[in-house]
Amino acid sequence: MSNIGKFQDRNPGVRPAGVVTTIPDDSTRACVQPPPPRESTPEKIRKYRKSFNDEPGMKQIHYGIVDDPLPAETFTYGKKTYKSDHVHQIIGPNRNQGLGQFQTGLKEQKYASSIKEPLGKGFERGYSYPQEVNTSDFKFGQQTVPSESSKVLIFPPNGRREEPEEVRKLYFISHGVTEAGEQMSRNYNWPINKNDHRFGMPDPPELNGVAMALRPETYGSSHPKTEIIKKTVEDFRNANHEELGKSKNLGTGLNNADSNRVFGVPTYKEPWDAGQCIRGNPAPQELAPDKDLGKSTRFGFRNDFKPGDEVRQFGVPTIRNDIEKKSFKSVADPNNYGDEASVVQLLYPDYWLRFGINQSEFTRPRDVEEIRSLFEAIGMPMGKGKSITISNKAYDMFGVVSLESFIHGLRWYEERGLH
């Protein structure tokens, strides 16, 4: 029997207590008397489950060795270390002296390094120089022929050329070149006069800066205070520290030796002087050329000449005339096709480069009508017959009709009084 409509909610804004659930067995009895636990996984199957190694305190063990018996607690894993030389014997200095050193020297006499490079001496090739080499004014090499200095090439004395202002501006736009001492102007709209204004904050002037740097203890509060210490401390410092201009006191007492006395053992004087050490006294077999002179000692790189290769030039030429130049050269193309600028052109750029015209435009093959239109554009009109005659002469002289060859043909035409 339903109670709907029989009660009135006097506090509609208060949430009712408790939770309404439809889950079975979710009651107080189920909480006080929980059901018996479910059956666990059998031990013989449990080791194959992923949750076996995830339990707290469990070691990650493969299921194949879980049931294997462990060795005794006194069992030692690893391999036993064999006895060998100690560290101080390996790292320590070589004390091969006396008879042992003499025996080592006899064993090493057969090595080429001991013959050519004896211990304590330089590499001896055993060259036999003529008597002229022994003179004091002899010098190796070839005297450098004097030539023009790089300053004259880069900054010629008469290299300045007066140009119109509009031409100079075009050269600045194309190459970014300015005159010597010219200020770089980016045409900013400054609210101030940039020529009179100074940016930043000035440092306050400081008087007697050099005196303060040389004698800082006499200024301000940096003057050191006088401290009184014990005489034992002063004696310890004098005995353990080095005084300026004196050797360290090693506690051996006063040295009353003569000031001219020389300590140590005198150096053994060899019969050879510095000149003999440089020139040497080589044996005949040491003066002989190496057996592999002029031959490659690397396996696989011994290129022997074949019949007909005596005048052959190996390698790739610097200027690649053996391959065809593409119409549009890539930036990543490292080849030189013979059309790059020389050093003289880099130091003294051509006049037409200032207007963005490349030198190749004058040597490129052109049609006669195109050349006529270019001459008419600069105020030099010519007839069709005259242009054909000049172009034929240019082709006979240079084998191609271009602006450069056409100009030479025009000179030939005018020198003979033709019109």
User: pLDDT tens digits for 84-99?
Assistant: 777 776 776 666 667 7
Task: Give the pLDDT confidence score for residue 159 in this predicted structure.
Answer: 63
Is there a contact between 283 and 126 (Cβ–Cβ < 8 Å)?
A: yes
Torsion angles phi and psi, residue 404, rounded to 5: -65, -45
Task: Give the pLDDT confidence score for residue 95 in this predicted structure.
Answer: 64
What SS3 class is residue 336? strand
Is there a contact between 33 and 41 (Cβ–Cβ < 8 Å)?
A: no
Task: Give the pLDDT confidence score for residue 132 in this predicted structure.
Answer: 83
pTM for the full predicted model:
0.24
User: pLDDT tens digits for 387-412?
Assistant: 888 888 889 888 888 988 998 888 88
Task: Give the pLDDT confidence score for residue 152 in this predicted structure.
Answer: 79
Identify the bridge partners of residue 336 per DSSP, sorted by sequence position: 319
Name the pLDDT band for 160 (thresholds 50, 70, 90). Answer: low
Name the pLDDT band for 208 (thresholds 50, 70, 90). Answer: confident
Task: Give the pLDDT confidence score for residue 374 in this predicted structure.
Answer: 87
Name residues whose C-beta falls within 8 Å of residue 234's C-beta, 6 or more positions apart in sequence: none
DSSP string for 215-264: -GGGSTT-PPPP----HHHHHHHHHHSPPTTS----SS------TT---S
- Is the model's pLDDT at 256 over the cut of 70? no
Torsion angles phi and psi, residue 319, rounded to 5: -95, 115
Q: What is the distance between the alpha carbons of residues 254 and 257, in angstroms, rounded to a whole number?
A: 9
- Is the model's pLDDT at 383 over the cut of 80? yes
Q: What is the distance between the alpha carbons of residues 187 and 173, in angstroms, rounded to a whole number?
A: 13
User: pLDDT tens digits for 267-319?
Assistant: 766 677 777 778 788 888 888 888 777 777 776 666 666 777 777 777 788 88
- Is the model's pLDDT at 223 over the cut of 70? no
Task: Give the pLDDT confidence score for residue 23 in this predicted structure.
Answer: 59
- The two three-digit tokens of residue 197, written as one number: 């204004």
- Is the model's pLDDT at 20 over the cut of 60? no
- The two three-digit tokens of residue 62, written as one number: 């493969």
Secondary structure letter of residue 110 according to DSSP: G
Query: How close are the terminal C-alpha atoms of the chain, in Å?
Result: 133
Name the pLDDT band for 241 (thresholds 50, 70, 90). Answer: confident
Task: Give the pLDDT confidence score for residue 113 in this predicted structure.
Answer: 79
**Residue linked to tokens 């003066």:** 287
